[in-house]
């Protein structure tokens, strides 16, 4: 759902090749198919494979508890591909919440994916990329895929970045869909606390991965401010505390980033060039 808006605003930029979280050089890639396979291998050996499997085992058990069919649960994983949004969907519909209210809640939950899509598309798209070529990687885009793409894509030729994202996304999506079915049928053998613990693995892994891969001042400041502001808002029972944490922390981090860049950039007066004497 977030893809339509992001496709219109994302533009390719050479600066994206030098930005982000890349620290792991990619294996030599010769063709698009080898880039796709490299993406699947990266996903299969990533810590996110473990996270996805256990998260969706818990989700499958949750869907069973609320009376949904296994086919419905697995289809929701394939179509939504967003754990928090799926939990909102199941608990909302299962508790009898109005369909429109549930849809709005799911949509608001998924807005968090828009910034990462907008940030990644300029890195992976080519000047001659057509919108339909970006639909699949945008659908696959989750925090897990985004982290791996930001690590590996800058070291890949631009024409191989979309196949890499498709390979990584498809591998993780298949793992999640299968794990949903496994969790559904394991529900009777799993303790109730398992579902909650499995779902908690997801935000924990996102936090540690973001902290490990943060390189720019903007990334580190946003993470630190979010960790400081979030508990304060939660303590005072501020409504939409998570949303306000992102808005306040992200805005302050961006302000610090702009202030630092302004101080590092020589002042330019009318009629002069940067670095020249007035």
- For 21-86, the DSSP string reads S--SPPPP--SHHHHHHHHHHHHHTSHHHHHHHHHHHHHHHHHHHTT--HHHHHHHHHHH--HHHH
Q: How confident is the model at residue 144 (pLDDT cuts 50, 70, 90)?
A: confident
pTM (two decimals):
0.69
pLDDT tens for residues 85-120?
Answer: 898 899 889 888 888 988 988 888 888 788 888 888
Cα-atom radius of gyration of the chain, to the nearest Å? 21
- A 10 A CB-CB count for 83 gives 24
Least confident segment among 5-9, 69-73, 126-130: 5-9
**Quick one: tokens of 146?**
């985004």
Q: CB burial class (10 A; 0-12, 13-18, 19+) of residue 118?
A: middle
Given a cut of 60, whether residue 134 has pLDDT beyond it is yes
The DSSP secondary-structure symbol of 265 reads S
CA-to-CA dists, residue 186 to 62, 82, 104, angstroms: 11, 21, 31
């Amino acid at each position: 759902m977030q893809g339509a808006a992001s496709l219109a605003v994302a533009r390719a930029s050479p600066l994206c090749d030098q930005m982000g979280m890349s620290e792991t050089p990619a294996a030599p890639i010769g063709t698009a198919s080898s880039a796709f396979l490299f993406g699947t291998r990266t996903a299969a050996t990533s810590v996110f494979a473990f996270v996805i499997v256990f998260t969706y085992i818990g989700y499958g058990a949750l869907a069973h508890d609320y009376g949904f069919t296994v086919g419905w649960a697995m289809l929701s994983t394939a179509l939504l591909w967003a754990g928090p949004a799926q939990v909102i969907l199941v608990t909302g519909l299962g508790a009898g919440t109005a369909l429109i209210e549930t849809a709005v809640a799911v949509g608001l939950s998924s807005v968090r994916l828009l910034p990462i899509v907008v940030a990644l598309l300029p890195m992976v798209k080519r000047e001659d990329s057509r919108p339909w070529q970006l639909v699949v990687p945008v659908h696959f885009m989750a925090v897990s895929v985004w982290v791996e793409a930001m690590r590996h894509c800058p070291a890949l030729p631009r024409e191989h970045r979309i196949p890499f994202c498709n390979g990584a996304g498809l591998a993780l999506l298949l793992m999640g869909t299968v794990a949903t079915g496994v969790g559904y049928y394991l529900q009777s053998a799993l303790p109730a606390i398992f579902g909650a613990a499995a779902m908690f693995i997801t935000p924990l892994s996102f936090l540690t991965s973001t902290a490990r891969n943060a390189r720019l001042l903007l990334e580190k400041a946003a993470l630190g401010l979010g960790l400081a502001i979030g508990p304060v808002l939660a303590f005072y029972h501020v409504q939409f505390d998570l949303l306000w944490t992102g808005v306040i922390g992200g805005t302050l981090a961006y302000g610090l980033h702009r202030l630092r860049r302004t101080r590092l950039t020589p002042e330019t007066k009318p009629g002069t060039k940067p670095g020249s004497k007035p």
